[in-house]
Protein backbone atom coordinates (compact mmCIF):
# COMPACT_ATOMS: atom_id res chain seq x y z
CA UNK A 1 0.00 0.00 0.00
CA UNK A 2 1.36 3.37 -0.91
CA UNK A 3 2.20 5.94 1.70
CA UNK A 4 -0.37 8.33 0.18
CA UNK A 5 -3.17 5.73 0.36
CA UNK A 6 -2.26 4.79 3.94
CA UNK A 7 -2.32 8.46 5.02
CA UNK A 8 -5.67 9.03 3.26
CA UNK A 9 -7.23 5.99 4.93
CA UNK A 10 -5.91 7.12 8.32
CA UNK A 11 -7.41 10.57 7.81
CA UNK A 12 -10.75 9.06 6.77
CA UNK A 13 -10.70 6.84 9.89
CA UNK A 14 -10.04 9.82 12.17
CA UNK A 15 -12.82 11.90 10.59
CA UNK A 16 -15.24 8.96 10.76
CA UNK A 17 -14.41 8.40 14.43
CA UNK A 18 -15.16 12.05 15.22
CA UNK A 19 -18.46 11.89 13.37
CA UNK A 20 -19.60 8.71 15.13
CA UNK A 21 -18.25 9.40 18.63
CA UNK A 22 -20.71 12.19 19.59
CA UNK A 23 -23.64 9.93 18.74
CA UNK A 24 -22.35 7.33 21.20
CA UNK A 25 -22.29 9.75 24.14
CA UNK A 26 -25.58 10.02 26.04
CA UNK A 27 -27.18 13.50 25.95
CA UNK A 28 -27.02 14.18 29.68
CA UNK A 29 -25.39 17.56 29.72
CA UNK A 30 -23.33 18.90 32.55
CA UNK A 31 -24.93 18.56 35.98
CA UNK A 32 -26.33 21.89 37.11
CA UNK A 33 -24.61 23.53 40.03
CA UNK A 34 -26.65 24.26 43.15
CA UNK A 35 -26.03 27.96 42.39
CA UNK A 36 -27.60 27.65 38.93
CA UNK A 37 -30.57 25.78 40.34
CA UNK A 38 -30.92 28.50 42.99
CA UNK A 39 -30.88 31.23 40.32
CA UNK A 40 -33.59 29.46 38.33
CA UNK A 41 -35.83 28.90 41.37
CA UNK A 42 -35.30 32.50 42.54
CA UNK A 43 -36.73 33.69 39.22
CA UNK A 44 -39.72 31.34 39.48
CA UNK A 45 -40.38 32.50 43.06
CA UNK A 46 -40.08 36.14 41.93
CA UNK A 47 -43.05 35.50 39.62
CA UNK A 48 -45.17 34.35 42.56
CA UNK A 49 -43.97 37.18 44.81
CA UNK A 50 -45.05 39.62 42.07
CA UNK A 51 -48.46 37.95 41.85
CA UNK A 52 -48.96 38.20 45.63
CA UNK A 53 -47.95 41.88 45.52
CA UNK A 54 -50.11 42.64 42.46
CA UNK A 55 -46.93 44.05 40.89
CA UNK A 56 -47.20 43.79 37.10
CA UNK A 57 -43.68 45.21 36.59
CA UNK A 58 -42.15 42.53 38.78
CA UNK A 59 -44.13 39.84 36.98
CA UNK A 60 -43.23 41.20 33.53
CA UNK A 61 -39.52 41.20 34.46
CA UNK A 62 -39.33 37.38 34.71
CA UNK A 63 -40.64 36.73 31.19
CA UNK A 64 -38.74 36.53 27.93
CA UNK A 65 -40.27 38.93 25.33
CA UNK A 66 -41.41 35.92 23.27
CA UNK A 67 -42.93 33.96 26.17
CA UNK A 68 -45.81 31.58 25.55
CA UNK A 69 -48.44 30.68 28.18
CA UNK A 70 -50.24 27.31 28.04
CA UNK A 71 -53.01 25.93 30.25
CA UNK A 72 -54.48 22.44 30.06
CA UNK A 73 -57.69 21.74 31.94
CA UNK A 74 -60.98 19.89 31.95
CA UNK A 75 -63.92 22.13 31.02
CA UNK A 76 -67.26 21.94 32.88
CA UNK A 77 -68.59 19.79 30.01
CA UNK A 78 -65.90 17.20 30.83
CA UNK A 79 -63.84 17.80 27.70
CA UNK A 80 -60.11 18.45 27.76
CA UNK A 81 -59.20 21.99 26.80
CA UNK A 82 -55.95 23.67 25.90
CA UNK A 83 -55.48 27.42 26.03
CA UNK A 84 -52.34 28.80 24.34
CA UNK A 85 -51.48 32.48 24.63
CA UNK A 86 -48.68 33.86 22.44
CA UNK A 87 -47.62 36.36 25.12
CA UNK A 88 -47.93 37.11 28.83
CA UNK A 89 -49.64 40.46 28.22
CA UNK A 90 -53.09 39.41 29.41
CA UNK A 91 -51.68 37.67 32.48
CA UNK A 92 -49.48 40.64 33.41
CA UNK A 93 -52.42 43.02 32.94
CA UNK A 94 -54.63 40.84 35.18
CA UNK A 95 -51.98 40.74 37.92
CA UNK A 96 -51.64 44.54 37.84
CA UNK A 97 -55.39 45.22 37.81
CA UNK A 98 -56.45 46.01 41.39
CA UNK A 99 -58.24 43.08 43.08
CA UNK A 100 -59.25 42.62 46.71
CA UNK A 101 -57.96 39.11 47.22
CA UNK A 102 -54.24 38.36 47.21
CA UNK A 103 -53.33 35.92 44.42
CA UNK A 104 -51.29 33.33 46.28
CA UNK A 105 -49.75 30.50 44.29
CA UNK A 106 -47.84 28.09 46.50
CA UNK A 107 -45.37 25.58 45.07
CA UNK A 108 -43.61 22.44 46.30
CA UNK A 109 -41.92 19.28 45.02
CA UNK A 110 -39.55 21.30 42.81
CA UNK A 111 -37.66 19.47 40.05
CA UNK A 112 -35.02 21.54 38.25
CA UNK A 113 -32.97 20.44 35.25
CA UNK A 114 -30.41 22.64 33.53
CA UNK A 115 -28.21 22.17 30.50
CA UNK A 116 -26.24 25.25 29.51
CA UNK A 117 -28.62 28.10 28.66
CA UNK A 118 -31.78 25.96 28.98
CA UNK A 119 -33.60 25.06 32.19
CA UNK A 120 -36.78 23.20 33.03
CA UNK A 121 -38.72 23.46 36.29
CA UNK A 122 -41.63 21.18 37.25
CA UNK A 123 -43.57 21.95 40.45
CA UNK A 124 -46.84 21.05 42.13
CA UNK A 125 -48.91 24.09 43.04
CA UNK A 126 -52.10 25.30 44.64
CA UNK A 127 -53.70 28.65 43.98
CA UNK A 128 -55.72 30.71 46.43
CA UNK A 129 -57.52 33.99 45.97
CA UNK A 130 -57.13 35.38 49.45
CA UNK A 131 -57.97 32.55 51.86
CA UNK A 132 -60.23 30.78 49.34
CA UNK A 133 -58.80 27.74 47.57
CA UNK A 134 -59.29 27.98 43.80
CA UNK A 135 -57.40 25.17 42.05
CA UNK A 136 -54.21 23.13 41.89
CA UNK A 137 -52.05 21.35 39.34
CA UNK A 138 -48.58 21.29 37.87
CA UNK A 139 -46.57 24.27 36.65
CA UNK A 140 -43.88 23.63 34.05
CA UNK A 141 -41.41 26.39 33.26
CA UNK A 142 -39.01 26.44 30.32
CA UNK A 143 -36.32 29.05 30.97
CA UNK A 144 -33.54 30.41 28.78
CA UNK A 145 -30.54 32.57 29.54
CA UNK A 146 -30.70 35.89 27.72
CA UNK A 147 -27.73 37.69 26.12
CA UNK A 148 -26.86 39.26 29.48
CA UNK A 149 -26.74 35.82 31.15
CA UNK A 150 -30.00 36.30 33.07
CA UNK A 151 -32.64 33.57 33.24
CA UNK A 152 -36.04 34.37 31.69
CA UNK A 153 -39.21 32.30 31.44
CA UNK A 154 -39.71 31.37 27.78
CA UNK A 155 -42.75 29.18 28.34
CA UNK A 156 -45.09 28.58 31.25
CA UNK A 157 -47.47 25.64 31.04
CA UNK A 158 -49.86 24.52 33.74
CA UNK A 159 -52.62 22.06 34.46
CA UNK A 160 -55.65 23.17 36.46
CA UNK A 161 -58.03 21.09 38.50
CA UNK A 162 -60.20 21.43 41.60
CA UNK A 163 -60.34 17.74 42.58
CA UNK A 164 -57.51 15.58 43.85
CA UNK A 165 -55.60 18.51 45.28
CA UNK A 166 -53.22 17.98 48.19
CA UNK A 167 -53.96 21.09 50.22
CA UNK A 168 -51.85 19.87 53.14
CA UNK A 169 -48.75 20.96 51.20
CA UNK A 170 -49.73 24.60 51.13
Fold of 32-169: Nuclear Transport Factor 2; Chain: A, (3.10.450)
> What are the residue boundaries of the structural domains of the chain, listed by start?
32-169
Does the reported pTM lie above 0.85?
A: no
Q: What is the pLDDT of residues 2-50, one digit of tens each?
A: 544 344 334 333 333 333 333 333 345 556 788 889 999 999 999 999 9
Is residue 153 within 8 A of residue 62, CB to CB? The reply is yes
- pLDDT (tens digit, 9 = 90+) per residue, 97-125? 999 999 999 999 999 999 999 999 999 99
Mean residue pLDDT across the chain: 85
Residues 6+ apart with CB under 8 A from 40: 112, 114, 119, 121, 143, 151
| pLDDT tens profile 55-84 | 999 999 999 999 999 999 999 999 999 999
Q: CA geometry: angle at 67 spanning 122 and 146, to 5°?
A: 90
Amino acid sequence: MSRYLARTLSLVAVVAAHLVAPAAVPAQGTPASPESQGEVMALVKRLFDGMRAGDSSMVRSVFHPQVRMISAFTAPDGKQRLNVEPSADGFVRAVGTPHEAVWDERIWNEKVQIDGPLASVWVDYSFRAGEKFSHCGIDHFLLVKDDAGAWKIMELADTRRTAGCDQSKD
